[in-house]
């Protein structure tokens, strides 16, 4: 018998949630719900439809052999039926799976959004979180950069809605086609592309000589490594134009910046060739949002993934999307003093002065709720003093007191808790 607690009746369980997970008591849950409401509102403003997938997926959906952090930290295990399964580390593969499953039954373009919990598992755990929630918006069936421009504008719209300005946050934008062209120019084999992307993504997180060593260890000559690292250090499209012979990436980037100007969000975005993102499946434009103070990790990131569906056994479709986590944005909002107070809001407290009137109180609460009022019905015998304190704690607007003499006259006593005014009110007039 396990002597820690299993099967033993009086042994206390650990009241903490499992390592790396969070509880959401009311105060935290109000913040989360408020944030998700904002995600949903913006998604609907852009006419995206909400979808959902299981948190548990077949492990095979996430197996990619590129050495990405996301797949190295897969929270996978064998279920009781011997199947290899995983708690999803991201939402895009599930979306891709559903698109493949629907096949010709869906008309293009598809504009879907989803909000879901994603998981990771690290063997060496340094108190790092193992779950977060992510908001994704994806466009399937559009080849043009109009899709990326629309997605970035959706995120800008969210930032504005939260009170975040272009002096707080900016987007770094590039295209993986820049690196692809640079590699071709250096005669580096295409089969190294994904690996190079994953290494370049670590610029800023790893020492530069580590990055160089990593690239060289893949068999890239040091001279080519230096050229690649020079190209990804460029901060303007014009500089890039001078060094790249393949102008395809530049045309796309210029189109995107032109669209951003017409949307009116040019001040939010800048070109930065070092942005490649750490996911294997991106093929074109990639972007991420960051706080301009440089204190936090990336707020969100996304890009084009035109070949993901065929890696999962389906027919390819042009696609792009982004993921936006629940943690960094809340840190930023706290930092900027933009997190709203979000108090619990109750309209009325209904309280029976006398125990014999509890049934009448239920009737009154029911009537008010039918009218759309948020009503807290006091369910046990309490002193009036407790009820007043309680009213203050839950920010109730009115106190509805059910007393014998008023009830005889078809009335209740109403106290307006902000003006302190009291009056007897007919039930029908409440």
Q: How far is CA 368 from CA 130, 339, 349, 363, in A?
A: 43, 31, 10, 9
Is residue 321 involved in binding ligand 4JM (CB under 6 A)?
A: no
Number of residues that bind ligand 4JM (CB under 6 A): 10
Select the residue interacting with ligand 4JM from 61, 70, 296, 417 (CB under 6 A): 70
Q: Considering only the stretches 93-101, 113-121, 162-170, 356-364, report the one whose residues sit in contact with ligand 4JM under the rule CB under 6 A.
A: 113-121
Look at the block and give the residue holding tokens 């049934």.
Answer: 359
Where does residue 211 rank: exposed (0-12), middle (13-18), buried (19+ CB within 10 A)?
Answer: buried
8 Å CB contact between 39 and 167: no
Q: Considering only the stretches 97-105, 115-123, 142-150, 299-307, report the one whose residues sit in contact with ligand 4JM under the rule CB under 6 A.
A: 115-123
Is residue 118 involved in binding ligand 4JM (CB under 6 A)?
A: yes
Q: Considering only the stretches 116-124, 155-163, 183-191, 383-391, report the one whose residues sit in contact with ligand 4JM under the rule CB under 6 A.
A: 116-124
Q: Toward ligand 4JM, which CB reaches closer, 327 or 425?
A: 327
For residue 227, what are its two tokens? 């050229």
Beta carbons within 10 angstroms of residue 299's beta carbon: 21
Least distance in angstroms from the C-beta of 303 to ligand 4JM: 16
Encode 332-361: b = buried (16+ Cβ within 10 Å), e = exposed.
Answer: bbeebeebeeeeeebbbbbbbbeeebbebb
Least distance in angstroms from the C-beta of 129 to ligand 4JM: 4
Residues 197-256 that bind ligand 4JM (CB under 6 A): none
Q: 25: phi > 0 → left, psi -120 to 50 → alpha, else beta; which?
A: beta
Please tell me the number of Cα atoms within 13 Å of 305 on its side-chain side.
27
Q: Which runs of consecutive H residues, i.e. helices, occur in 83-192?
A: 92-102, 146-161, 176-185
Q: Toward ligand 4JM, which CB reaches closer, 116 or 284?
A: 116
8 Å CB contact between 116 and 57: no
Select the residue interacting with ligand 4JM from 131, 288, 326, 348 (CB under 6 A): 131
Q: Considering only the stretches 129-137, 229-237, 255-263, 418-426, report the one whose residues sit in contact with ligand 4JM under the rule CB under 6 A.
A: 129-137
Is residue 326 involved in binding ligand 4JM (CB under 6 A)?
A: no
Q: Considering only the stretches 118-126, 185-193, 372-380, 407-415, report the one whose residues sit in contact with ligand 4JM under the rule CB under 6 A.
A: 118-126
Which residues sit at the interface with ligand 4JM, rule CB under 6 A?
Answer: 70, 89-90, 118-120, 129-132
């Amino acid at each position: 018998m396990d002597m820690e607690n299993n099967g033993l009746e009086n042994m206390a369980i650990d009241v903490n949630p499992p390592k790396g997970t969070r509880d959401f008591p009311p105060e935290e849950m109000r913040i989360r719900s408020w944030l998700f409401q904002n995600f949903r509102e913006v998604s609907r403003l852009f006419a995206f439809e909400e979808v959902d997938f299981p948190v548990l997926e077949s492990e095979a959906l996430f197996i990619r052999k590129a050495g990405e952090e996301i797949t190295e930290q897969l929270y996978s295990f064998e279920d009781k039926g011997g199947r290899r399964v995983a708690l999803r580390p991201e939402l895009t593969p599930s979306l891709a799976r559903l698109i493949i499953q629907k096949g010709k039954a869906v008309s293009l373009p598809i504009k879907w959004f989803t909000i879901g919990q994603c998981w990771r598992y690290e063997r060496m755990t340094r108190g790092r979180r193992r779950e977060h929630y992510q908001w994704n918006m994806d466009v399937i069936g559009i080849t043009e950069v109009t899709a990326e421009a629309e997605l970035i504008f959706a995120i800008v719209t969210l930032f504005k809605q939260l009170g975040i300005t272009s002096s707080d946050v900016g987007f770094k934008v590039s295209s993986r086609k820049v690196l692809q062209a640079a590699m071709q120019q250096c005669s580096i084999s295409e089969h190294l592309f994904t690996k190079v992307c994953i290494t370049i993504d670590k610029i800023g997180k790893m020492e530069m000589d580590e990055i160089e060593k990593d690239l060289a260890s893949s068999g890239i000559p040091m001279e080519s490594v230096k050229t690649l690292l020079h190209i990804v250090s460029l901060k303007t499209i014009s500089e890039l134009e001078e060094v790249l012979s393949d102008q395809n990436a530049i045309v796309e980037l210029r189109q995107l910046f032109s669209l951003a100007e017409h949307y009116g969000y040019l001040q939010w975005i800048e070109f930065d060739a070092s942005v490649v993102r750490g996911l294997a499946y991106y093929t074109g434009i990639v972007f991420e949002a960051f706080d301009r103070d440089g204190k936090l990790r990336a707020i969100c990131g996304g890009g084009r993934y035109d070949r993901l569906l065929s890696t999962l056994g389906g027919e390819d479709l042009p696609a792009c999307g982004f993921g936006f986590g629940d943690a960094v944005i809340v840190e930023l909002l706290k930092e900027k003093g933009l997190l709203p107070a979000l108090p619990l809001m109750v309209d009325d407290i209904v309280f029976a002065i006398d125990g014999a009137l509890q049934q009448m109180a239920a009737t009154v609460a029911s009537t008010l709720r039918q009218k759309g009022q948020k009503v807290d019905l006091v369910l046990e015998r309490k002193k009036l003093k407790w009820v007043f304190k309680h009213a203050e704690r839950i920010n109730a607007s009115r106190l509805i007191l059910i007393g014998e003499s008023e009830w005889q006259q078809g009335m209740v006593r109403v106290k307006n808790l902000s003006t302190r005014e009291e009056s007897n009110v007919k039930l029908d007039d409440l």
